[in-house]
């Protein structure tokens, strides 16, 4: 039996993420941590400048 593929839209993805955020925040945080690497988004120069004020 052939399975029909469903095309995902940005709206569908947004709705799913929003429902995770509203209904189960710990699950949302775990998903965020496993798929988003903040060290790739925030350059090391930002960290160096930010922490230079603290010594």
Under 8 Å between Cβ of 28 and 36: no
Domain count, the chain: 1
- Which domain, by its residues, includes 18? 12-36
User: Does 2 reside within a domain?
Assistant: no
Structure confidence at residue 55 (pLDDT): 66
**Tokens in use for 27?**
């699950």
pTM to 2 decimals?
Answer: 0.47
List the one residue out of 20, 39, 43 whose CA is nearest residue 30: 20
The 10s digit of each residue's pLDDT in 5-54 is: 788 899 998 998 899 889 988 988 888 889 989 888 899 999 899 889 88
Distance CA 32, CA 18 (A): 12
**How does DSSP assign 34-53, residue by residue?**
HH--HHHHS-HHHHHHHHHT
Q: Is residue 54 part of a domain?
A: no
Residue 23's pLDDT is 93
Structural domain contains residue 44: no
């Amino acid at each position: 039996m052939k399975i029909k593929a469903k095309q995902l839209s940005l709206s569908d993805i947004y709705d799913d993420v929003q429902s995770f955020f509203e209904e189960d925040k710990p699950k949302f945080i775990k998903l965020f941590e496993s798929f988003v690497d903040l060290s790739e988004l925030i350059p090391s120069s930002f960290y160096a400048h930010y922490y230079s004020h603290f010594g």
